[in-house]
Structure 1
Amino acid sequence: MKSLPLLCVVLFILSALSGCAKSSHSSAAPRPQVGVITVQPQSVALTRHLVGRLAPYLSANVTARVSGVLTKRVYKEGTDVQAGQVLFEIDPAYYQAQLNNDLGILGEDRATWMNDKVNAARYHQLLPVGSVSQQTVDNADATVRSDAAKVKADEAMVESAKVNLGYTKVTSPIRGIAGQQLVTVGALVGSGTSDAGSGGTLLTTVNDIDQLYVNFTLSAADLLMLREAGARGDVALAEPDRTTVQITLPDGSAYAQLATLDFSDVSVNATTGAVNLRALVPNPQRTILPGMYVTLNVTLGQQRNVFLVPQESLQRDTVGAYVFVADASGKVAREDVAANDSLGTNWIVTTGLTAGDQVIVSGLQGLHEGDPVKSHPWHAPSAAAPQDGSALAAGSRTAVNAH
């Protein structure tokens, strides 16, 4: 009977040893598996995402240059017109009468001039024989000169009257699409030649949209940062005529033609704190129209010595952006990075990484700095996922192991 307590003690000791063995076994659990990429410095396009508005390449107001009653609209609204094509007609009666009157005055003064020239020539012939005085000859010559000046003035009046008569046929100043008629036939239109200096009556507008301008702005801070980066050699800025702009239409589709920067202002707008820029974009099919707001992807040059990391690898907290890397000892380390721009599905990291760093992309759930991990190369899902779904199952197992 005394051996019974001793047996219980032995059984208790064996049970305790078995529990310690289990605890030791559980502490040696396998390391979580993580997918990593090895990053290397490279050069990528330097882009900015901005908003712009389209404007016609040429836009001309068609206005009345003489006063009168609008008698006819010659063109069809919304159609192509050529430079010099007649669009409207103004009642020409008054201007035709003015021209006829000026022509009559010119004819009369020319006749007087010719008669006085004959008289002056006759006086010059009589002067040597003493039939006329020198004073008479001089007076005749002066009269001829006065007549000639008056004829010149009359000719100018005739030309002015012809111009005004020509203005009764209102023509298009440029080639383009003529817009809606703004004044109806029968309305009295004005030339705007009063002392107030106001323009003539606006009849319509002609726009050339075979190519368009896209106007946008770049903040002065961004422009200064780019120039400083260019001076350091971190950025290779493109020449203005090689700076391209990709337009994204309001429906989200990319416009087929690239725009090229053709103007950059030399001063900062005091109201907006930005610099005005403009690009020229071909529009042969006239698929984009003036006044549209579009999204722009402006390629300003090349960024040098940057790193591309998948978007899912970048995390942010109150400190800022960071990534987890697997160090040489197989443990997780945090690297604070600067990543303000993206390219496709990747973030562009400008500082914080070095060549050869193994950035953790998958298996990030529950990871902490200093955790031991087992890494394997990570592949983008589109390139690595088989059609039968086996990759999804494998990814699920990896996630379970990570937890």
Structure 2
Amino acid sequence: MNMRYSPILPDQSARPKPFYTRPRVILGVAILVIATVGAYAVFGPGGKKDRGRPPAMVVTATAAAKDVTVVEHTVGTVMANATVSVTAQVTGQLLKAHFQEGQIVNKGDLLFEIDPRSFRAALEQAQATHAKDKAQAENAVATKKRYDALFAANAISSQQRDTSDAAAKSALATVDADRAAVDAAKLNLDYTQIRSPVNGKTGAILIQPGNLITANTTANPLVVITQIEPVKVSFALPQSDLPAIQARDKAGKLFAMIDNHKPGTPKLSARVNFVGNQVSSTTGTIELRADYDNKDHQLVPGAQVDVDVALGNIPKATVVPREAVNDGPNGRYAFVVGADMTAQMRPVTVLFDDGTNMAVKGVKPGEKVITDGQLRVLPGAKVAFAKARGGKSNKPAHAQ
């Protein structure tokens, strides 16, 4: 007997209903919004937490009004007015050096001596030849005069007279050539004494006495002399300063203050007497040079020195310490502390920065600016004065 079994299905009415019904979802979202708003009211800006937050401790300085000199700072190089390589003008054996290495010499001082014997003998030979030719020339001139008289008396032919004239002129020309030879021999003899062409300081002796030296060999000088009185200081400034440079130069007020970092020595003042005729396409700067008499030999050619150049003035500028100016995403700003001890963020424009103080627009003289503790300050929040580093308290000063 065949039997069929039908599956027993669960009662659909007994299945549990879903928990997330629409009314309950709406109620949950509403509760979340209320909780968020309440938390913001309690913990957000101006809430109970903010009202209970202690003021940020800051150090301040008072902005001051003062006349500011606009100064450009740069690095310069000391240059010699002249550097001379001393060489021989005649060939011979070097006998002696008449100076010490590193000695200060004056123009015309004897430096070296070349063996003069062969040059003295050449001079004596030239003088003897000159004397002989001079005597012959005198005889030729006398003969010419006699022939001129005989020709006037029709005693000789014109050819004989012309011959005597030519002989006299030739003898006189020979005397002139001999005189030039004597002068050249004297000059060569003088060249055996090598003298300083400039005032300056000698370097090392590059060819020692006893060596045979060749005339006019610039590749192997005997010594190099550097002129150190006066010297030039070469430096470069940005092309944006060119209008101010030209104005100061025209007014005769373009000076360089040179710092050679010698302890106890003030900066050296030198008049700028050269402004380059073109701006460098590589660096965007223009070269300037200042002359310094260097009587005290403080500056040495080739040395690097710090140079300050005054290019203008800002009268009654507002000056604050450099630490008071901060960089932000929208530009530079400073925190100013008001009478109610709240910090105000002020955008500022820097007119000049000397590395210690800044001349700025956006802050008034007499206002207090925060120089330390800016990272703990919120715009509009209360602040309190703290002691500056080193134990000093806040005082109205240019910088603290």
Answer yes or no: same fold by TM over 0.5.
yes
Q: Is the 8 A contact 2:346 2:363 kept in 1?
A: no
Match of 2:157 in 1: 133
Q: Is the 8 A contact 1:339 1:348 kept in 2?
A: yes
Q: Secondary structure at the match of 1:278?
A: strand
Q: 1:68 to 1:25 in 2, by over 3 A?
A: closer
Q: Secondary structure at the match of 2:268?
A: coil
When normalised by structure 1's length, the TM-score is: 0.73
Distance between the aligned counterparts of 2:342 and 2:244, measured in 1? 35
Q: Extract unaligned runs of 5+ from structure 2.
A: 1-41, 396-400
1:122 corresponds, among 133, 146, 149, to 146
Distance between the aligned counterparts of 2:235 and 2:187, measured in 1? 42
Deviation at 1:346, TM superposition (A): 0.6
- Are 1:215 and 2:248 an aligned pair? no
Match of 1:263 in 2: 274
Mapping of 1:29-68 within 5 angstroms? 35=60, 37-40=62-65, 43-68=67-92
Q: Is the 8 A contact 2:324 2:335 kept in 1?
A: yes
1:324 corresponds, among 319, 329, 335, to 335
Match of 1:144 in 2: 168
- Are 1:361 and 2:370 an aligned pair? yes
Distance between the aligned counterparts of 1:341 and 1:187, measured in 2? 62
Q: 1:140 to 1:273 in 2, by over 3 A?
A: farther
Match of 2:346 in 1: 335
RMSD of equivalent CA atoms: 3.7
Worse overlay, 167-176 or 286-295 = 286-295
Q: Is the 8 A contact 2:244 2:311 kept in 1?
A: no
Match of 2:241 in 1: 226
User: Rg: which structure is higher?
Assistant: 2
Distance between the aligned counterparts of 1:336 and 1:160, measured in 2? 81
Deviation at 1:147, TM superposition (A): 2.3
Match of 1:399 in 2: none
Q: Is the 8 A contact 2:93 2:210 kept in 1?
A: yes
When normalised by structure 2's length, the TM-score is: 0.74
Q: Secondary structure at the match of 2:170?
A: helix
- Are 1:294 and 2:305 an aligned pair? yes
Q: Secondary structure at the match of 1:209?
A: coil
- Aligned residue identity for 1:37: T
Q: 1:38 to 1:52 in 2, by over 3 A?
A: closer
Q: 1:65 to 1:301 in 2, by over 3 A?
A: farther
Q: Is the 8 A contact 2:63 2:363 kept in 1?
A: no
Q: Is the 8 A contact 1:65 1:200 kept in 2?
A: no
Q: Is the 8 A contact 1:85 1:171 kept in 2?
A: yes
Distance between the aligned counterparts of 1:287 and 1:211, measured in 2? 11
Q: 1:355 to 1:134 in 2, by over 3 A?
A: farther
- Are 1:204 and 2:223 an aligned pair? yes
Worse overlay, 357-366 or 145-154 = 357-366
Q: 1:264 to 1:82 in 2, by over 3 A?
A: same
Distance between the aligned counterparts of 1:295 and 1:161, measured in 2? 53
Distance between the aligned counterparts of 2:243 and 2:221, measured in 1? 48
Aligned residue pairs, count? 348
Deviation at 1:163, TM superposition (A): 0.8
- Are 1:190 and 2:214 an aligned pair? yes
Mapping of 1:301-312 within 5 angstroms? 301-303=312-314, 306-312=317-323
